[in-house]
Homo-oligomer: A and B are copies of this chain.
Amino acid sequence: MNDARPRARVVSRRRVYAGKVLELYVDDVIEPGEVRARREVVRHAGSVATLAVDDQQRVLLVRQYRYALDDEIWELPAGRIDGDEAPEAGARRELEEEAGVQAGQVEPIAFFHTTPGFCDERMFIFRATRLTLGPARPEPDERIELRWFTPDEVDRLISTGEVHEGKTLVALLLEQARRRSG
């Protein structure tokens, strides 16, 4: 570990909420540079998402209702990391549960923090190929529609703004770049 990186000193910490999906803390801290601040922080287990690509270079998106937006959106199959599960294992699990897809090959293509101003969520994105399709097994509170999009359709989803979700936009832009350079 590189411990030369700057770190905060915590003056006081208050856990405001601990739920199923997240915890909320309000911490009084002294940050590097002697900056005193009160920080509201959402702690999250981390997330995994998979760009599944079939033999015709089509990609799989799922459409589901998201309560936080009170709307349905197109997204990569994705979910929370389960306990100490490895990200790749979580990505394979979610792809099979949400979409019934098993992958012969899975490779990491991106890692990022979704919104580090107030949240520690990490997002691991994988690209899955050599796919086998089977029945989905969604959670009781999930209603999921599946659709495969051709490369031209992916270009359109990006340019029209029809995809407007962070992880999905990152993955589709990476796939677009891969196609254009390859």
Which A residues form the contact surface with B (CB < 8 A)? 5-8, 16-17, 19-22, 24, 26-27, 29, 31-33, 35-42, 44, 47, 65-73, 75, 78, 80, 110-121, 123, 140-143, 161, 163-167, 169-170, 173-174, 176-177, 180-181
The smallest C-beta distance from A63 to any residue of chain B, in angstroms, reads 11
Contact B71 A42 (CB under 8 A): no
Contact B22 A113 (CB under 8 A): no
* Residues in B neighbouring A140, C-beta threshold 8 A: 35
Contact A73 B116 (CB under 8 A): yes
Contact A68 B169 (CB under 8 A): no
Neighbour of A67 across the interface among B39, B73, B111, CB < 8 A: B39
* Main secondary structure on A side of the interface with B: mixed
Copies in the assembly, this chain: 2
The smallest C-beta distance from A113 to any residue of chain B, in angstroms, reads 5
Given A68-B39, A170-B169, A115 contacting B115 (CB threshold 8 A): yes
Contact B165 A118 (CB under 8 A): no
Contact B68 A41 (CB under 8 A): yes
Q: How far is the CA of A118 from the CA of B46 in the complex (A)?
A: 12
In this complex, what residue of B is CB-closest to A19?
B40
* Residues in B neighbouring A167, C-beta threshold 8 A: 166
